[in-house]
Structure 1
Amino acid sequence: MLDWMMAGAISLALMQPQSAAPASPPPAQDPAAQSPAALEDVVVEGRRLEEIVRNFVTEVAAPAPRRGLARWHGGICVGVVNLRNEAGQYIADRISQVGMDLGLTPGEPGCRPNIAVVFTGDGAELASSVVERNRRAFRMGGSVNRDIVALRAFETSDAPVRWWHVSIPVDSETGDRAIRLPGDIDPSTGEPSAPVISVFAASRLNSQIRDDMNKVMIIVDVDDMAATNLNQLADYLTFIALAQVDPDSRTAGYDTILNLFNAPQSVDGLTDWDMSYLTSLYRAQNAPARRINPAAQATAMASDMIRDRRAAQTAGEQTPPRE
């Protein structure tokens, strides 16, 4: 079902007319736009820095219901569809390179994509068509994806980029799936079956179950890309591909690539703030005590980001504060 979700979007997109690849420079920004709080520029009391970082983590993160934040483990394979070869390869390479920096292994040429970036002339039409053809691939149950309200927004949104993440709880010791999904049958009995997890150290505080990213579909409406350039867009897609991001997050007060479509001139690409978030996600999620609930993960990530910034300040890497 998951592979059908990816293949269905790609085949439908190939039938739709396309516009030119995004390559134009960003337009002039409204001088009244809000100045973002650059992470590297924050020279404030410790409590203020902690508040800003924790608010950002809480605002951006979008785990599946009742699950912790998921991240990729092991390999990623990026597929970009309906874009000029050079531009598509640039986007795939950018996502793969940042993934490598986070400890992931990019797939070889010809690998089966688990990150699909599909360009289309009508994002809402493509999203609706794919979901209509196989809704179960998007709403699989078992807390592996966001709720029905989020799926409806994925179909009907007028956002220039929309995405759908699927994550899977797995046994961190074996990598095997740790939940039952619809259609799981015991071949010996023909009855519904569920995975069996061997618990090595039972605890109310720690968990050997972790949440892994499994598939990401990103749909880009090319008609809305005129205000961006390829470098900006590639970095925006990179952040979305590597982390579960809330499409409704309000990030105007932060120095992040997530502001691309509201304030194109405010960011050139992934910022120090963005990389600190991604690095902390991929570090903090590994600790067993932090897998047990999203709040603990968010606290651990925020603490990790704060340590990074304080270390940078101590090393003299900080730029002068903005007025």
Structure 2
Amino acid sequence: MASSLAVSTFALAQERPAQPDPEPTRVDDIVVQGMPLRDQVTTFVDAVTAPPAGRAPARWADRAGVCVGVANLGRDSAQFMVDRVSEVALLLDMPVGEPGCSPNVVVMLTDDAPGLAAALVERSPNAFRPHYAGAAGTVRKLDIFVASDRPARWWHVAMPVTGESGNPAIRMPGDDRIPRVKVPLSRLTTTIRNELRRAFIIVDIDQVEHLTLTQLSDYVAMVAFAQIDPDHEVGDFPSILNVIAVPTAASEMTDWDRAYLQALYGVELNRRRPSSQRGQIAADMFRDRRAAAGDEGAQSVGD
């Protein structure tokens, strides 16, 4: 399942050997007592979903798939992370690249995350903010990405495409052709959707050394496959996103996390209003969690 070379293609500081990863312990999902299940799901989806302003959520296209690259980690540990992240891609019905593919999900570990982020953005600014609307976050958000002291930072690049062909729905720099976009009769739906094209994830190795390799790999997978808000507040939910602050929060990606990703990758991304698209994701996630809990379990949390 290896989908990329597990060696550095960047000039990073030094390689730090990873500690052996203990056998993960299964942690049962919990729920926020006193809040109806539907409200729990809606609150979670609203808290974590953060596409660029004015854009609906994006996801990786199943026709292209993903190729995961890990830099500055021991070969065996890097291969473990590549395989672990790739397993989540397969769960979402996305193909993964063969060994030697060109990474579009690039994970970099370093002891100087702000310095590495600054160097990458300075060297290849267009890779982070291409010259077309809606590709990525604002200049201010990019500045925060560079200067942040967070243990992990990530940056996604997306492209609006037409639903039928998957071709760019915008005029690309240097291309005089005007894209042909079929306009539906409905005022609620559109033929344009947003596809992820690149993800950069930089991890401060000194701030995550308390995590197991499974925890870190699953955290990386979560932020690689969804445009997660870096300022998310989801401490009340059973999510791998809490694991850096509270290592006992989850030993691996939880059923709650998988339900969110499967909802994101299962719905039709054809709503004109981004808020409506989040509502569709929340509705699918709610149905999954209600089915998992059973009617009696759903009633016990107030639904």
TM-score range, shorter chain: 0.7 to 0.9
For residues 48-83 of structure 1, what are the alpha-carbon distances to aligned partners after superposition, in whole Å with 9 as ceiling and x for unaligned? 211111111011011122110001112111111111
**In 2, Cα distance between equivalents of 1:22 and 1:241:** 23
Give the letter for the 1:172 counterpart.
Answer: G
Q: Structure 1, residues 99-142: CA drift from partner, whole Å, max 9, x if none?
A: 11111001111111111111222111000011112323222241
Query: For residues 163-208 of structure 1, what are the alpha-carbon distances to aligned partners after superposition, in whole Å with 9 as ceiling and x for unaligned?
Result: 1100111011001011124x3333xxxxxx44232x1633322111
Aligned-partner Cα distance in 2 for 1:303–1:275 = 15
Measure how far apart 1:17 and its partner are: 2.2
- Measure, in 2, the Cα distance between the counterparts of 1:177 and 1:62: 22
Q: Is the 8 A contact 2:113 2:202 kept in 1?
A: yes
CA deviation map 1:248-276 (0-9, x unaligned): 11111111000111101111010111011
Q: Report if the CA contact (8 A) 1:22-1:225 is conserved.
A: no
Alignment-derived partner of residue 151 in structure 2: 160
- The amino acid across from 2:142 in the alignment is L
Offset, 1:44: 6.5
Q: Could you tell me how far 1:302 is from its partner in structure 2? A: 1.1
Structure 2, gaps ≥5 residues long: 1-7
Out of 272, 277, 280, the position equivalent to 1:300 is 280
1:265-280 equivalences in 2 (<5 Å): 265-280=248-263
Summarize the Cα distance change of 1:310–1:15 in structure 2 as closer, same or farther, 3 Å threshold. Answer: closer
CA RMSD across the alignment: 2.4
Distance 1:94 1:194 in 2: 41
1:206 aligns with 2:196: no
In structure 2, relative to structure 1, the CA distance for the partners of 1:103 and 1:225 (3 Å cut) is: same
Matches within 5 A, 1:200-239: 201-239=184-222
Pairing 1:310–2:290 present: yes
Amino acid at match of 2:38: E
| Percent of aligned positions that are identical | 38
Q: Secondary structure at the match of 2:150?
A: coil
Q: Which of 128, 132, 141 pairs up with 2:118?
A: 128
Shift of residue 39, structure 1, vs aligned partner? 9.0
Find the aligned partners of 2:205 and 2:31 in 1 and give their Cα distance: 36
The reply on whether 1:17 has 2:14 as its aligned counterpart is yes
Q: How far apart, in 2, do the equivalents of 1:253 and 1:230 lie?
A: 24
Structure 2 match to 1:59: 47
